[in-house]
């Protein structure tokens, strides 16, 4: 064994030993340097360091970054920051913390709450870090603190940025809100300190990383009661980037005002890009309450409110689409070839199917109608019939092509996909086969079908733009503080529905006549000089039948939802809109269409006049009621029923 | 069975062992002082002290095992040892656990091991083996050294990815120390240095400002006055305030107020120097110096290339870590995660260092056997 080891033995070159000598010299030199360094720190400068250590004089003061602003598409500010004067305490500097707290409470009054609880809650923070006692002090209190400064060691007033939403409830569900970072968020993300603000919902939450900015700070030397003597070293804060939205602030405000007195939603899209121009959800909340620090009672009130003001009805609310769904049905029927534009179906006020009668809303019936007339007058029987011809699974397939039954992919939390039933869906959900009678309910947007207002706005946009489904977006770009573009959001086409050009054209024409012809159900959305196309819908929220003409006495949650979807101008659409008046108990044409009219009037800058008043103007004939306008299928129109046009029924 | 050679016991280097145990004991006392303000347990119940003592016992066993195996046998299996350690490092991204923002540990029940610590010794063993057999040893050209660079680059790249910049720095500086000792031409050092000096500004110019900022804070966190820079100031205050005689054992104040980060691991020297003053620091560093000089003597007197390079390599690990750690806590070197050998709390570091001393003792006592 030993001999094999010896064979591998190698002589040591002489160079090796020479170099060891160099190495020894380096070792001696570096250790000598270390001793010199320690001599400098501990002996030459020792006195100074001793005094720094005795008073813990060197502190780190964080300077919170200013959050990026949020702007509308025209660079108008919608979310901003303003200075806030906060009362802070460094407990280590207050020689007697309870005494300091007591005199603070005496100075500021009882409204500031229990300050000692705040100090107790901050027990585990790093030493000498500020504890914020009161945010946003008023001038009177600031003056009180400043004049009593010397009785309050460790207490100071610091100015920092405070999030502010100058338009209050406007677009609150889309903008979201900020709040103090919680334990989970601090563990999941790096660089957040106790008391930092973080986006909790909406754009504030989704775009947090861009809006947040980078905190700065100062190494400061302080005196024995914690007052800053000099700044040793400093890093400037980097403000967050600005978010430019696709929202038009003025249009948003008009839409908010138009919804006054209603619950529900308004969603307006640019059909050419999928950009959201306005999105309203009512009832709403004031995000400023969160920026200030929401009180428990306020939070409970918001959460317990039956109308759920914190939820966005536009993206989280699901409602039966009612008759607005008929545009999807018409497209499916024309594409599948179960009808042609000339196919007429007789409506006698109802359809006997199975062992019951499915009624048309118009008990006297619509007579013989083609698809154009059926949409304009919203004939239920026509759609019962084509629903039967299509079958539930074909209806589902076409609905999916429009993007129904699945979230649109908007970057907002908790988006609902709604429900598009199919036979497979029903088997899975209820373990039951699909009954043909259920297809009839589906055909008029009732039964299991539910959609969100955003989805219906998207359906409207798809019909308006010739068949492209866009992913709805509300952010146009992210801009740096110097105005440079950091990120540009491009329109994102999800799919093309792949319909014949004529199919969508026919639906658009029918929707135009729905608004502009005397028999149409949507005449309340008529605008002077702009050709608007639309479809009304009245969705039953409960199974209760009875007289539909008045639901005033009904419990709110049983009343019908009023829908209106619209686009304009018909020939070259620039806007698509969906309006939902939740549990209004009124018809789509009565409750929802006027809201859409107000928004569209502002969008096009035309006077928003009552169409009833227009009609009274002598000799006024709405442009689109004139014969021969394009290929209006006018030859097929039935003679006008004078009783219908005031009866904006569904 | 081979008869135990009495000469082995005769040539056992007690001074290396005594120096190691002295530093280790003082380290235990300092770990106690650094954590007692929060633990309040007393010396023998202090969890960190107890764990460190157990690590020391494990390290001691490892040391004995290393001493008993003839290092020339290690020469034969050098690449096997190297490969095993490299495999452990490769396993870290797969089965490793994350701590402090980096994936460095492999968890083994109650303890976790940090393979990057072992890489230091493994690279030294592989280098010693390579230059032991290389014809060129004593006059190494650049091409002769290429295999050695590869031996360094393989584990180095993976440790860098963890990321553990400090350990990569130590491995690299130790590898170059061994290359220097093995006789790599001075010209090569000069050319490599010149290339590095030329390449860095060139690459630098291509980076955007924010990228440069990121690299700077990564390479040298003390440039961030809000992060490590603040810790360095507090560490300097701690060391400086110890003055000549120190504040006395268990009487450090900086440490108690939680100002010093990692006060029982990377920054333990500031706790020590605050309490023991300049006098204590000089004595402690003197002990390290004695250990290093003694290790250089072992390398000088070794009878073969492998033994000489092995002893030189392990002693350079100890030396560079002491210099870098004291330099970083006293604010003249960038803050990188480098432990103070035998002193900082940490099982992988301690056992690796004790095995390194075992290798020195091994080489020393077998120099008369052939």
Between CA A20 and CA B178 the distance in angstroms is 10
Q: Contact A506/A631 with Cβ under 8 angstroms?
A: no
Q: Contact A402/A438 with Cβ under 8 angstroms?
A: no
Angle at A475 between CA A474 and CA A479, to 5 degrees: 160
Q: What is the mean pLDDT of each run of 10 residues along chain A (650 residues)?
A: 46 84 94 95 89 75 87 95 88 82 85 80 73 85 86 84 92 92 80 82 93 84 70 81 95 95 95 96 92 82 89 94 95 95 92 86 90 93 94 95 95 93 93 91 93 97 96 94 88 94 94 92 91 93 56 77 95 96 89 95 84 46 36 36 39
Which of A7, A31, A215 should one mutate to test binding to chain B, selecting the residue with the greatest count of B CBs within 10 A? A31
Between CA B78 and CA B317 the distance in angstroms is 18
Between CA A96 and CA A153 the distance in angstroms is 9
Q: Which regions of chain A carry the CATH code 3.90.1310.10?
A: 59-83+157-245
Using the Cβ of B259 and the Cβ atoms of chain A, whether some distance falls under 8 Å is answered with yes
Of A38, A48, A50, the CB nearest to B273: A38
CA distances (Å), origin A643, targets A121, A360, A569: 71, 17, 28
Q: Strand, helix or coil at A583?
A: coil
Q: Do B10 and B46 have their domain in common?
A: yes
Of B139, B273, B305, the CB nearest to A42: B273
Q: Is A356 exposed, middle or buried (0-12, 13-18, 19+ CB in 10 A)?
A: exposed
Q: How far is A4 from chain B (nearest CA, A)?
A: 10
CATH of domain A249-636: 3.40.710.10
Q: Tell me if B213 is assigned to some domain.
A: no
Using the Cβ of B238 and the Cβ atoms of chain A, whether some distance falls under 8 Å is answered with yes
Q: Strand, helix or coil at A530?
A: strand
pLDDT digit string (tens) for chain B, length 370 residues: 455 677 777 778 889 999 999 999 999 999 998 887 766 778 888 888 999 999 999 999 999 999 999 898 898 999 999 999 999 988 887 777 666 556 677 777 677 788 888 999 999 999 999 998 887 777 888 888 899 999 999 999 888 887 777 888 899 999 999 999 988 888 999 999 999 888 888 877 776 666 666 566 656 555 666 666 677 788 888 899 999 998 888 887 766 555 566 678 888 999 999 999 999 999 999 999 999 999 999 999 998 889 999 999 999 999 999 999 999 889 888 777 789 999 999 889 999 999 999 999 999 988 877 6
Q: Do B138 and B103 have their domain in common?
A: yes
Q: Contact A210/A480 with Cβ under 8 angstroms?
A: no
Hunting for tokens 């396993």 — which residue is that?
Answer: B91
Of A27, A42, A233, the CB nearest to B292: A27
Contact A31 B370 (CB under 8 A): no
What range does the domain containing B361 cover? 1-68+221-370
Q: Which regions of chain A carry the CATH code 3.40.710.10?
A: 249-636
Using the Cβ of B261 and the Cβ atoms of chain A, whether some distance falls under 8 Å is answered with no
Q: Do B8 and B42 have their domain in common?
A: yes
pLDDT tens-digit series, residues A158-210: 888 889 999 999 999 999 999 888 878 877 777 787 778 899 999 999 999 99
Closest A-chain CA to B101 = A190
- What was the pLDDT predicted at A634? 35
Q: Do B62 and B166 have their domain in common?
A: no
**Residue whose C-alpha is closest to residue A562's, from A644, A645, A647, A650:** A650
Hunting for tokens 């010093």 — which residue is that?
Answer: B260
Q: Tell me if B321 is assigned to some domain.
A: yes
Length of chain B: 370
Closest B-chain CA to A59 = B230
Q: Tell me if B265 is assigned to some domain.
A: yes
Between CA A512 and CA A543 the distance in angstroms is 31
| Other CB atoms within 10 Å distance of the CB of residue B113 | 18
Structure tokens at A25: 């010299």
Q: Tell me if B29 is assigned to some domain.
A: yes
Which of A32, A42, A216 should one mutate to test binding to chain B, selecting the residue with the greatest count of B CBs within 10 A? A42
Which residues of chain B does A56 touch, with a Cβ-Cβ cutoff of 8 Å?
A: 257, 259
- What was the pLDDT predicted at B333? 82
Residues with Cβ within 8 Å of A17's Cβ and at least 6 positions away in sequence, in order, are: B300
CATH of domain A59-83+157-245: 3.90.1310.10
Which of B100, B101, B233, B237 should one mutate to test binding to chain A, selecting the residue with the greatest count of A CBs within 10 A? B237
Length of chain A: 650
Q: Do B228 and B195 have their domain in common?
A: no
Last residue of a domain, one of B206, B230, B260: B206
Contact B70 A5 (CB under 8 A): yes
| Other CB atoms within 10 Å distance of the CB of residue A222 | 19
- What was the pLDDT predicted at A38? 95
Of B239, B285, B292, the CB nearest to A42: B239
Partner A, chain B 122-181, Cβ-Cβ below 8 Å: 132-133, 137-139, 177, 180-181
Give Cα A223 distance to the centre of its chain: 49
Last residue of a domain, one of B206, B238, B253: B206
Which residues of chain B does A233 touch, with a Cβ-Cβ cutoff of 8 Å?
A: 225, 229
- What was the pLDDT predicted at A543? 61
Contact B319 A8 (CB under 8 A): no
Q: Tell me if B215 is assigned to some domain.
A: no
Q: Contact A277/A246 with Cβ under 8 angstroms?
A: yes
Tally the domains of chain B: 2
Between CA B284 and CA B191 the distance in angstroms is 37
Q: Do B64 and B87 have their domain in common?
A: no
Helix (H) or strand (E) holding A83: strand A77-89
Q: Strand, helix or coil at B184?
A: strand
Q: How far is A375 from chain B (nearest CA, A)?
A: 59
Structure tokens at A341: 């534009």
Last residue of a domain, one of B172, B206, B240: B206
Contact A10 B233 (CB under 8 A): no
Between CA A649 and CA B118 the distance in angstroms is 83
In angstroms, how far is the first alpha carbon of chain B from the final one? 19
Q: Do B47 and B113 have their domain in common?
A: no
Between CA A465 and CA A476 the distance in angstroms is 20
Q: Do B129 and B107 have their domain in common?
A: yes
- For helices B305-329 and B228-241, the axis angle rounded to 10 degrees is 90
Q: Is A567 exposed, middle or buried (0-12, 13-18, 19+ CB in 10 A)?
A: buried
Q: Strand, helix or coil at A221?
A: strand
Q: What does pTM read for this prediction?
A: 0.67
Structure tokens at A229: 């003597």
Contact A13 B139 (CB under 8 A): yes
Helix (H) or strand (E) holding B80: helix B78-95
Q: Do B62 and B88 have their domain in common?
A: no
Q: Is A44 a catalytic residue?
A: no
Between CA A66 and CA A212 the distance in angstroms is 7
Q: Tell me if B22 is assigned to some domain.
A: yes
Helix (H) or strand (E) holding B173: helix B165-182
Of B237, B288, B305, the CB nearest to A53: B237
Q: How far is A33 from chain B (nearest CA, A)?
A: 9
Which of A13, A47, A53, A125 should one mutate to test binding to chain B, selecting the residue with the greatest count of B CBs within 10 A? A53
Q: How far is B278 from chain A (nearest CA, A)?
A: 6
Ramachandran sector of residue A336 (left: φ over 0; alpha: ψ -120 to 50; beta: rest)? alpha
């Amino acid at each position: 064994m030993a001999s094999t080891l010896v064979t591998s033995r190698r002589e040591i070159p002489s160079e090796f030993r020479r170099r060891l000598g160099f190495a020894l010299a380096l070792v001696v030199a570096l250790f000598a340097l270390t001793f010199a360094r320690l001599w400098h720190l501990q002996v030459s400068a020792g006195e100074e360091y001793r005094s720094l250590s005795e008073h813990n004089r060197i502190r780190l003061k964080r300077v919170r970054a200013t959050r990026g602003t949020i702007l509308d598409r025209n660079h108008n500010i919608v979310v901003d920051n303003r200075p806030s004067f906060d009362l802070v305490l460094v407990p280590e500097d207050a020689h007697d913390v309870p005494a300091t707290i007591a005199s603070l409470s005496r100075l500021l009054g009882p409204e500031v709450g229990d300050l000692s609880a705040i100090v107790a809650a901050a027990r585990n923070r790093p030493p000498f870090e500020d504890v914020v006692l009161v945010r946003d002090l008023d001038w009177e209190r600031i003056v009180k603190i400043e004049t009593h400064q010397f009785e309050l060691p460790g207490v100071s007033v610091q100015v920092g940025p405070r999030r502010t939403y100058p338009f209050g409830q406007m677009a609150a569900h889309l903008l979201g809100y900020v709040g103090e970072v919680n334990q989970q968020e601090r563990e999941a993300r790096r660089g957040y300190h106790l008391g930092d603000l973080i986006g909790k919902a909406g754009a504030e939450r989704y775009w947090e990383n861009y809006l947040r900015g980078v905190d700065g700070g100062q190494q400061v030397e302080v005196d024995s009661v914690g007052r800053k003597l000099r700044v040793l070293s400093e890093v400037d804060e980097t403000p967050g980037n600005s978010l430019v939205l696709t929202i038009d602030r003025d249009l948003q405000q008009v839409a908010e005002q138009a919804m006054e007195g209603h619950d529900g939603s308004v969603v307006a899209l640019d059909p050419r890009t999928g950009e959201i121009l306005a999105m309203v959800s009512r009832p709403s909340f004031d995000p400023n309450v969160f920026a200030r620090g929401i009180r428990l009672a306020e939070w409970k009130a918001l959460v317990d409110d039956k109308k759920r003001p914190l939820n966005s009805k536009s993206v989280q609310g699901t409602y039966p689409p009612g008759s607005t769904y008929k545009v999807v049905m018409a497209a499916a029927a024309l594409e599948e070839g179960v009808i042609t534009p000339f196919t007429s179906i007789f409506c006698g006020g109802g359809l006997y199917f199975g062992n019951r009668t499915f009624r048309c809303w118009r008990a006297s019936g619509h007579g013989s109608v083609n698809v154009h007339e059926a949409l304009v007058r919203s004939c239920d029987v026509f759609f019962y019939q084509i629903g039967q011809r299509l079958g539930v699974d074909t209806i589902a397939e076409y609905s999916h092509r429009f993007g129904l039954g699945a979230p649109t992919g908007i970057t907002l939390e908790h988006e609902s996909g709604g429900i598009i039933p199919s036979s497979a869906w029903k088997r899975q959900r209820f373990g039951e086969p699909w009954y043909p009678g259920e297809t009839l309910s589906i055909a008029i947007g009732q039964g299991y079908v539910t959609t969100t207002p955003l989805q219906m706005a998207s359906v409207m946009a798809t019909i308006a733009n010739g068949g492209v489904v866009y992913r709805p977006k509300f952010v146009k770009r992210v801009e740096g503080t110097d105005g440079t573009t950091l990120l540009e959001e491009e329109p994102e086409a999800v799919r093309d529905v792949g319909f014949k050009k004529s199919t969508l054209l026919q639906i658009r024409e029918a929707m135009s006549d729905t608004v502009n012809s005397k028999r149409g159900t949507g005449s309340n959305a008529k605008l002077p000089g702009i050709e608007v196309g639309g479809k009304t819908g009245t969705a039953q929220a409960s199974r209760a039948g009875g007289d539909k003409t008045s639901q005033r006495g009904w419990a709110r949650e049983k009343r019908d939802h009023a829908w209106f979807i619209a686009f304009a101008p018909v020939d070259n659409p620039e806007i698509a809109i969906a309006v939902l008046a939740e549990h209004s108990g009124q018809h789509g044409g009565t409750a929802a269409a006027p809201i859409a009219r107000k928004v569209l009037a502002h969008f096009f800058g035309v006077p928003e006049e009552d169409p009833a008043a227009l009609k009274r103007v002598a000799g006024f004939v709405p442009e689109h009621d004139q014969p021969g306008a394009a290929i209006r299928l006018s030859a097929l129109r039935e003679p006008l029923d004078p009783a219908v046009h005031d009866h904006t029924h569904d | 069975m081979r008869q135990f050679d009495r000469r082995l016991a005769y040539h056992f280097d007690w001074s290396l062992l005594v120096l190691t145990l002295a530093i280790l004991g003082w380290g235990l006392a300092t770990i106690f002082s650094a954590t007692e303000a929060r633990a309040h347990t007393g010396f023998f119940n202090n969890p960190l002290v107890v764990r460190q003592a157990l690590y020391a016992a494990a390290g001691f066993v490892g040391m004995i095992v290393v001493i008993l195996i003839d290092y020339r046998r290690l020469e034969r299996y050098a690449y096997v040892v190297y490969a095993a350690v490299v495999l452990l490092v490769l396993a870290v991204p797969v089965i490793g656990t994350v701590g402090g923002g980096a994936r460095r540990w492999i968890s083994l029940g109650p303890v976790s091991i940090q393979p990057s610590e072992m890489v230091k010794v493994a690279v030294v063993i592989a280098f010693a083996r390579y230059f032991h057999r290389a014809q060129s040893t004593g006059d190494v050209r650049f091409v002769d050294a290429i295999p050695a660079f590869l031996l360094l680059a393989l584990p180095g790249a993976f440790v860098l990815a963890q990321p553990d910049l400090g350990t990569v720095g130590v491995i690299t500086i130790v590898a170059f120390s061994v290359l220097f000792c093995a006789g790599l031409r001075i010209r090569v050092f000069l050319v490599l240095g010149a290339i590095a000096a030329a390449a860095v500004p060139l690459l630098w110019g291509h980076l955007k400002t924010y990228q440069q900022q990121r690299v700077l804070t990564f390479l040298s966190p003390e440039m961030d006055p809000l992060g490590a820079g603040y810790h360095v100031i507090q560490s300097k205050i701690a060391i400086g305030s110890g003055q000549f005689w120190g504040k006395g054992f268990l009487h450090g104040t900086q440490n108690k107020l939680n100002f010093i980060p990692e006060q029982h691991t990377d920054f333990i020297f500031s706790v020590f120097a605050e309490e023991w003053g300049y006098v204590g620091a000089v004595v402690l560093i003197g002990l390290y110096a004695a250990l290093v000089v003694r290790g250089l003597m072992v390398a000088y007197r070794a009878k073969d290339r492998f033994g000489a390079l092995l002893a030189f390599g392990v002693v350079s690990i100890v030396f560079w870590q002491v210099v870098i750690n004291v330099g970083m806590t006293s604010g003249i070197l960038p803050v990188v995660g480098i432990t103070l050998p035998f002193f900082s709390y940490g099982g992988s570091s301690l056992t690796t260092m004790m095995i390194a001393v075992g290798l020195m003792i091994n080489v020393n006592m077998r120099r008369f056997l052939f």
